[in-house]
Structure 1
């Protein structure tokens, strides 16, 4: 549906010259959009997300996460990384963390939150098991918990996207 609407609107935008668009252009846009949407759908093996993504409470929760816990963690992490760089107290390494997440959206949200936070970088994700490989600036344990590496981000990803 997204490809259909996007291609329909893009075609109309391209043929628009500032004057009303002729009716036959709407017909051409409809035909082209239908063909594009059907061809993309038959080649795509991606999961289709349901209507739950349009829930306003989910969006409000996401905004709260981004401007609340995420910003706080980002500031703390920036300070921590700056201190580690100045003092030279760096013990980098790649750790394996089992997140327990099952949904693609929650894994994506968590991987991006980890990567955007200074001092951590999501290197790889095992899609079937939910295990993340994270490059961490301060490896204190060979088998750390998720809380030690990314804090409460896992709980937020589970709450917002699963």
Structure 2
């Protein structure tokens, strides 16, 4: 059942995004010049739905998402959930890859210093983070201790 709820969640967010795109361009987006054509849109749709189903199935099977609403929410948020599980490094690694492809295409003039899109220390940091398996650190309890809670609005003004 988790797969069904995940598919429903992923479908709901896709329907919302399509509705927004139709409102923005006042037509089906793939029929408007400059928007994503139909075939790439369909491929992205299938991938997004599969991502929602797979993530919801994993969370449902592990008990990490309780009940239909929780599993549906995981289906809706699947790309962000996976980005968080990867330590937020997915976007940085994509930028790194894009920077390397730009550097490879950009041939400097003879005798000129080559330009770098990403500083070398950032590249090393990203590579070491991507290559190592990271164990999440525990977060200390930051709840206030015993004693009176500060009154709201005190000192405002």
Q: TM class by shorter-chain length?
A: under 0.3
Name the TM-score, length of structure 1 as normaliser: 0.24
